[in-house]
Chains A and B, each alone.
Chain A
Amino acid sequence: MSGSASSVFFGLSTIAYILAMVLYIGYLAFRKNQVGVVATTVTVAGFISQTLAILLRWKEFYEVGQMGWLRAVPLTNLYESLVFFVWCLILAYLVIEFRYKNRSFGAFITPVAGLVLAFIDISGMSKDIQPLVPALQSNWLLAHVMMSFIAYSMFAVSFSTGLMYLIVKTDNRNQPAYLFWTIMLGIFAIVLCAMGLDYLTFKVAVKSQEELIKGYLFKASFRNSSSAIALLSFAASAAIIFVIWRFGGVLKKIITSLNISAETLDEITYKSIAMGFPIFTLGGLIFGAIWADQAWGKYWTWDPKETWSLITWFFYAFYLHSRLMRGWKGKRVAMVAVLGFVAVIFTYLGVNLLLSGLHSYGSQ
């Protein structure tokens, strides 16, 4: 089923976002307005194509599942939800571009979109339409998953603006906030590289794609059977972080040249959390609890997914309250916003990929 019309449009949107990324970066480098206009056009085209793809998949699912439009929302597995996440993120970005009349964020947002879509392809996760198990046949599912992802994309925006704020606001390499963002950015880069290596080597090593995600993560680097390679990976990671730390000033120069004030960055961070928090509370926690209550008779069971949603919620409550504390405005608050998104990623991917691997008997 993956050769259907919807996957053609998905492919087009992936290409468009990657192209847009190149264009936005080109726009930043050369500051040619025409380049910016083309970048926006390409992004909008990618967005339309992706919208069509999602609608088509919805229709396909409806025809396969035979149980009503609302139950056929294409939001039932990792693949579909990541695609929806990208869609929300691009939408949020386009809104910001038009509201703040500033294209510079594009160079930061489109790579995220491109990377997520590339991750989908690299990890080889199943793209098939899978019929719904009975527990998922609930109208709450639509509201729950959709709102969670809208909130996640708001949090993703706050993560990038929070990080940019920190980059702009720090000079001294020994400042805690400077160390914080260089390590954060370093870890992101390292994890992406390590997953890329897993992909390059896994085809020879393991057969099933499920295994890649669950059991093979970091086996090409940190968890390699050869301790020399594992050590080398740690050394390389340290080197990556060092380079970012040493040359972080370059990033600051780039961002300051964007004509975005630190205050605007802080405002966008706050606004996206102020939008994301209520949506996450209602859709992620409350609707999730109602659904669990209907399906299993327990609105809260402290299972890892629920618990991590709660932890995420606490992080953002922490963010909202830390702004109220004396001396916490600015950098410290931005660090909390960045950490909040780490919790989001863990809630979404870590629980499925890491914790379930830890708890299963199969691997090792």
Chain B
Amino acid sequence: MEKGKNKSVIDLLWDLFASVKLAVVIFSLISVTSMVGTVLEQNAEPEKNIRVLIKMFGVGHETAHSIYGILDSLGFMNMYHSWWFITFLLLFAANLIICSLDRLPRIWKLVREHIRPLSQEHIEKMSIRRSVSVKNKPSGIKEDVSSSISKIGFKPAESSSGNSFQFYAEKGNFTRLGVYITHLSILVILAGAIIGLKFGFNGFLNLPEGQISPVAYKDRGSEVPLGFEVRCDNFDVEYYGESDMPKAYRSWLTVLDGGKEVLKKVISVNNPLTYKGITFYQASFGPVRENMKGGILVLRLVSSDGKSTQINTNIGGNFSMPGSSAEARVTNFSPALSFDQSGRPFTYDANLVNPAAYIEFSNLGGKPYSGWILKRYPQTWRLPDGSSVEFLDYWGVEYTGLQVRKDPGVLIVYLGCILMATGLYITFFMSHKRLWVNVTEEKGAAKILIGASANRNRAAFERDIEKLAGLLGEGHKGGK
């Protein structure tokens, strides 16, 4: 890159974008602005970040408010989508493309160029070298040299003149492209991300049990048609032991296309459902507050002689126990029941954490009986006459929170990730290795001179060369 006055603007721009200097400037710009973006909460209510500013700078509310105003108008409150941050990313991509194009021809030549025999003086200047003497004529050890080189994994070529000869071999020229694969992979990932933003969407759908929806919703509430319908057949949470900490939650989903059921799947966190490019992730759950008392209570009734039936009822509903004259009526319900110190029941959570139904029985072996039956505690299911009422489910009062995504770019992003891993592996763990073995006659013995180079991990290659020298005979180590 010689400097001259007769360069056009395009040349100057090219040189600028081909420089690693610009790259480190861009690295710094992206890093520093990103740091600001992690201190300010993104897409949050203004009040939150005003508090952050007050805490950070110890200023009053007024001042914090004006700082907030300035930062907001600069786009810092949604900075990863601001025009200037996107510009940084584009500059970064441009830098990467031009820098790679600028150097590719030279690297390509290195990759394509085949190794040639070298003069003895050249070999003596290699960064790795050994010399070995063997009491034999050079022609007598030719086979031996060739097979030793093969033993350390190289395919040698040969050139000979008169009494002396030379074997030379190389491996991994293509590894010089590793850096370019790495750089390309970044562009592939960026391209995948752009495709996803342009042709995909990110939405959510809070779908109550039993309901069906042809659309999902974007963050600002606008509808996105799915092109098919999805129904939540059931939703269930499993807790750790008797705690309120969820161990797993699942939704039983059915996809309907053109009115026909085409797909059924039980999804859970880390285990989504995909249909026609749209994926449904189990993200959250919650109660349908306005319908909390309108659900369907699924009970299994087991009479004292073992007869079992499953029934659906609701709050206020009546049912009779099988094989007896006992009648029952559900009179109350709590989504999360607990008892205080004096034994009085109370509801401690609006979510369906520990659902319980209060059931009054009559004609149950004479005495009237009533009590709370809790889904989580089988001991509350047993009745005085030996029969039992199992609380299986309270259905229709919870919604499953689904993250709905369409992202045609994600496969490209994954492809980019694979490329990046491959590129980095090649770059850092492989190398372009070359070796020359020159054999001449010296005072009736064969003098073997080995020279070698590797563009990376020289120490490892040096051990191979050491082994080769060992294979070639008892010799003294040369140079270093």
Contact = CB atoms under 8 A, between A and B. Distances in A.
A278 B24 CA distance: 19
Contact of A308 (B21, B38, B413, B414): B38
Contacts of A300: 193
Nearest to A281: B424
B152 interface: no
A278 B322 CA distance: 67
B268 interface: yes
B283 interface: yes
Given A282-B424, A296-B283, A358-B52, A134 B34 contact: no
Interface stretch (A112-120, A178-186, A319-327): A319-327
22 contacts: A134-B246, A137-B269, A274-B428, A277-B428, A278-B425, A278-B428, A286-B421, A290-B414, A290-B417, A294-B270, A297-B202, A297-B279, A302-B37, A307-B37, A311-B31, A315-B31, A318-B31, A321-B24, A324-B20, A325-B20, A351-B38, A358-B56
B16 interface: no
Interface string B13-37: 0000000110110011011001101
Nearest to A64: B240
A225 to B, nearest CB: 13
Interface of B: 20-21, 23-24, 27-28, 30-31, 34-35, 37-39, 41-42, 48, 51-52, 55-56, 80, 193, 202, 240, 245-249, 268-272, 279, 281-283, 403-405, 410, 413-414, 417, 420-421, 424-425, 427-429
Nearest to B52: A358
A165 to B, nearest CB: 19
A174 interface: no
Contacts of B51: 361
Given A308-B38, A318-B24, A298 B405 contact: yes
Contact of B39 (A275, A310, A321, A355): A355
A314 interface: yes
Q: Is the interface of A mostly helix, strand, loop or mixed?
A: helix
* 7 interchain residue pairs of minimum CB distance: A134-B269, A278-B424, A304-B38, A297-B281, A297-B403, A297-B405, A302-B80
Interface of A: 131, 133-135, 137-138, 274-275, 277-278, 281-282, 286, 289-290, 293-300, 302, 304, 307-308, 310-311, 314-315, 317-318, 321-322, 324-325, 351, 355, 358-359, 361, 364
Given A134-B246, A134-B270, A310-B34, A275 B428 contact: yes
A304 to B, nearest CB: 4
A321 B20 contact: yes
Contact of A314 (B27, B48, B56, B404): B27
Contacts of B403: 296-298
Given A133-B246, A277-B424, A281-B420, A302 B42 contact: yes
Contacts of A275: 428
Contact of A307 (B34, B282, B429): B34
A281 B183 CA distance: 13
B270 A314 contact: no
Contact of B272 (A131, A297, A311, A317): A297
B19 to A, nearest CB: 9
Contacts of B31: 311, 314-315, 318
Given A133-B245, A281-B421, A318 B202 contact: no
A286 B193 CA distance: 14
Contacts of B202: 297-298
A58 B429 CA distance: 32
B20 A299 contact: no
Contacts of A315: 27, 31
A314 B283 CA distance: 31
Nearest to B30: A314
